[in-house]
Amino acid sequence: MYICVCNAVTEREIRQCAQLGYNLGDLRERLGVAKNCGKCKHAAKLILREERSADGESSRMQPA
């Protein structure tokens, strides 16, 4: 699904970037997310938050 229509950025792309450690500023700079109309900012932030929490859960589930 497209999250940023202005720059044709998909949810998948944002999730991949989140897994690489990108923050909203990185998304704005590198992909143009929330740089034009800004309607995608909230959705992009939610996806980043989801990926961070999913990453934290998977690291807690692995044995030490």
Which range marks the domain in which residue 40 is found?
2-61
Per-residue pLDDT of 16-62, as tens digits, reads 999 999 999 999 999 999 999 999 999 999 999 999 998 766 555 55
Per-residue pLDDT of 16-28, as tens digits, reads 999 999 999 999 9
**Residue 14 reports pLDDT greater than 80:** yes
CA atoms within a 13 Å half-sphere pointing along the CA-CB vector of 59: 7
| CB distance 23 to 59 below 8 Å | no
Domain count, the chain: 1
**Domain of 42: which CATH number?**
1.10.10.1100
